[in-house]
Amino acid sequence: MYFSRTGEMVEQGNHVEHHSWFAQHINISYQNIEWIAALIDIILIISASIIGTILFQYIAYGDFVGLEASFGVGVTNSLLYAYVARSHGLYRLPVLLSPLRHLARIFFYWLAVGMFVAAGLFLLKVGTAMSRGAMVSTGLLQISFLVIARLLEEKLTRSMVASGNLAGRRVVTIGESGELQRLSASYLFRYFGLKEVARIALTDIGDVRANPATENSYFLEAMDAARDLNAEEFVIALRWSSRPLLETAREQLRASPLPVTLLPDHNIRSILGRRGIATGRPVVSLELQRAPLTSPERAVKRIVDIVLASIALALLSPIFFIAALAIKLDSKGPVIFKQRRNGFNSRLFLIYKFRSMTVMEDGAVVKQAQRNDQRVTRVGAFLRRSSIDELPQLLNVLKGDMSLVGPRPHALAHDNEYKALIAKYAFRHHVKPGMTGWAQVNGLRGETGRLEQMVERVKLDLWYINHWSLAFDISILLRTCFEVLRNRAY
C-alpha cells in the first residue's frame, strides 16, 4: 500500500548469505556506533602507551619504570584524539566503511594531538617522566593499532550493515519524484542513519498544490504508514526552492507527533560533495518539527508510570476484588468494560474500565454518560462517583498504551466528531493518553455537552503537552487525589 507510488522497497541484506557470528548476534544503533568506535580508539591508545613503554623499558633497561606517567599521557592523548576525530566526523558510518580514503586525515589528527600533548609535557617540565625512546615506541604502536582497528572495523561494520544488525532510525520519506530518485534507501542509511520503511512520492506537484483533497491523501497515507510500520520520524525530500510545498508538508504533518526533518536537496548535496556529507555532522538537515518529548523525557515518564502503576496495583488489589464481586452480584455482564480509543499517534488500543452501565457501546455512535443516566447500574453509580471504575486502566499504563498523566482518551465516535469541529484536536495524540490530566484537575471531568467545554478541555491538554515536566506530572497526580473527593463524576 505504502510503496505503490514509488515501487517496491528492498531490505538490506537480502543478497548476503554469510556474516560473522558477531554481526549476526549483536545489534547496534547507527547513533551509537560513533561512540563505540571512539571508545575503541581510546582503549587502544591507552593500551599502546602502556605496552610501548613496557617494551622499550624492558629492552633498553631491563625494568618497567615510568608506567604511571605513560598511563596518564595515554589517557590525555586518547581523549583529545577521540574528541578531535569525532568533531571532524571520522567515526561516522561512511568513514568506517571506507577507512582507506581517510587514513591521511586519521594520521594527521593523531600526529597533531600527539605533538600538542608532547609540547604540553615540555612546557610543564614533566617530559622527563617518559624517555624519548618510550614516546617513540608508544607513538608507533598507537598509529599501528589505530590503522589495524579501522581495517577490522570496516569488515565488521560492512557485515553488520549487510545483515541488518546496524539499526537506523525508522523513517517515512515524502518527496518529489525527482529528488527521491537520487535518494536510495542505502544512501539514506549510509549518510544519514535512516532506515526507510516507506516512501511517498508526490508525483504531480501541480496537482498537489492546486487540489487540497489530493494534498491530504498524500500526507494521510504517510501518517498511516508511520503508524502501521512504527516509524520514528518523517523525512522530507523536496527542492529547497519549493517553498509553498515545504510549507504544505510542514502544516500537514503537524497532526503527527513524530519529528519532521528536511534533507538537503540534490543541489546542496552536489555542493557539499560525498566527502562533505560523509564526514560533516548532520547539520545539513533541518529540523522542521520536534517531538513533544525528548527520548530521555519519554524514558523518565515511562519509568515513573511503571513504578507507580505497579505500586498502585499491589496496594489496590483488595479494592479490585471487591469491585469485581459487587459488579457480578449487581447486574449481568462482564466485570471489565473494553472500548477502542485513540492513543499516541492515533494508534488504536482497548481501554479497560470496571463496567458501570448496562450497555457496552463501542460503535459509530456513543452516548456520553449524563447525570441521573438510567443506563448506570447501582454499583456503577458508586464506582463512577469514586472513580474506582477507572482503576483497571493501571493495566493499560503497564502495557504502555497509556500514561498516568496525559490527555484523557475519548471514544472513537467522539474523536471523529470533535476532530472535525475543533482545530488542533488531533494534537492531543502527540503524547500518550492519561488516566488523569491537566484538564481533569481543573474541573473538566464528565460530560462535555457543549462544544465550548470540549474546546476548553483541548486547550488545557495542549498546554500540558507544551509545558510537560516530571514535577508537573507529580503535581497533577496529587491534585487528582483531591479532585476525586469532590465527586464531580457521574
Tens digit of pLDDT at every position of the chain (490 positions): 444 444 334 344 444 444 555 555 567 888 788 899 999 999 999 999 888 888 887 776 766 666 777 888 889 999 999 999 998 889 988 889 888 888 999 999 999 998 888 888 777 665 555 667 778 888 899 999 999 999 999 998 888 888 778 888 899 999 988 888 888 888 888 888 889 999 998 875 555 555 555 567 888 889 989 988 989 899 999 988 888 888 888 888 888 889 999 988 888 888 877 667 766 655 567 888 888 888 889 999 999 999 999 999 999 999 999 999 999 998 888 999 999 999 998 889 999 999 988 877 766 666 666 666 778 888 888 988 888 999 999 999 999 999 999 999 988 888 878 877 787 888 888 899 999 999 988 887 766 667 788 888 889 999 999 899 999 999 999 999 887 776 555 5
Q: Quick one: 33 exposed, middle or buried, by C-beta within 10 A (0-12, 13-18, 19+)? A: buried
105, 141 contact by CB (below 8 A): no
Q: Cell 526533518 appears where?
A: 261
CA of 237: how far to CAs of 182, 268, 280, 282, in Å?
10, 12, 19, 15
362, 293 contact by CB (below 8 A): no
Q: Cell 487540497 appears where?
A: 212
Distance CA 349, CA 447 (A): 22
Distance CA 280, CA 91 (A): 11
Amino acid type, 1: M
Distance CA 139, CA 227 (A): 52
164, 24 contact by CB (below 8 A): no
β-bridge pairing 28-29 and 166-167: parallel
pTM of the model: 0.71
Distance CA 84, CA 95 (A): 15
Cell of 18: 554469510
Q: In 10 A of CB 43, how many CB atoms?
A: 14
pLDDT of residue 468: 92
300, 113 contact by CB (below 8 A): no
37, 30 contact by CB (below 8 A): no
Helices 103-123, 132-163: axis angle to 10 degrees equals 150
Cell of 136: 617513540
pLDDT of residue 130: 63
Distance CA 379, CA 355 (A): 9
> Residue 163, SS3?
helix
Torsion angle, alpha carbons of 71, 77, 78, 80, to 10: 140
Ordered domains of the chain (ranges, CATH): 25-163 (no CATH), 168-289 (3.40.50), 295-485 (no CATH)
Distance CA 273, CA 93 (A): 16
Tell whether the torsion through CA atoms of 201, 207, 210 and 211 is positive or negative: negative
Cell of 67: 608506567
